[in-house]
Amino acid sequence: MRHRVAGRRLSRTSEHRLAMRRNLAASLFERETISTTIEKAKEVKPFAEKLITLAKKGTLSARRRAIALLGNRDIVDYEDGKPVKKGTIIGKLFSELGPRFLDRPGGYTRIVHLSMRRLGDNGQLVLLQLVGADEGTKKKSKAATKRAARKKAEVEEVVEAEEVTEDEEGPSKDQEAAEADSDTDESDKQQ
């Protein structure tokens, strides 16, 4: 029995599992969506989310730790049949993905089940995706508008309360000084 044994073996040696996890996470950060089996996706998801949490910190030690966990392979794109280096995985992780998820406390990835199965072994296929920036802003904007409306109402109440207390106390020092200035201006005009 596998009581209290974490993780899946995936019919691979430990070195192969580690390399596969790194490669899948790097591909996820590079393309932002990958197709794989459900078991592999469930195994890579926590690893990818830990790396994004490191990227949110953005410190030098976090960057070094991410390089140690993931490696720092190049992002290569082909233009006119020639390979062109576009940057590195860690560079994209810390410059684009980390800042994108700053307001999000967790849940940076999602698993979407596909209806098709793999031809060779009939394995269940899924999409492992980074949650889009547009979804975070939709949820944020809805919550932000509620908070903003609440704050606005509180500020209006405070302003109304201050106006009421000023009316009861009489004119404030600023108002008295303004009236005195206007009186002296009028007397200067008359002379």
- State the Cα–Cα distance between residues 150 and 12, nearest whole angstrom: 55
- What does the pLDDT read at residue 171? 57
- State the Cα–Cα distance between residues 140 and 81, nearest whole angstrom: 42
Q: What CATH number should be reported for the domain holding residue 39?
A: 3.90.1030.10
CB proximity list for 54: less than 8 A, separation 6 or greater: 62, 63, 65, 66
Q: Are residues 52 and 126 in the same domain?
A: yes
Among 131, 162, 178, where does a domain finish? 131
- State the Cα–Cα distance between residues 150 and 144, nearest whole angstrom: 10
Q: Are residues 85 and 161 in the same domain?
A: no
Domain region containing 173: 141-190
Dmax (CA) for the chain in angstroms is 105
Q: Are residues 79 and 18 in the same domain?
A: yes
Q: Are residues 76 and 57 in the same domain?
A: yes
pTM: 0.69
Q: Are residues 163 and 186 in the same domain?
A: yes
> What integer is the mean pLDDT of 75-97?
95
Lowest mean pLDDT among 33-37, 144-148, 186-190: 186-190
User: Would you call 154 helix, strand, or coil by DSSP?
Assistant: helix
Judge whether 1 lies within some domain: no
**Total number of domains in the chain:** 2
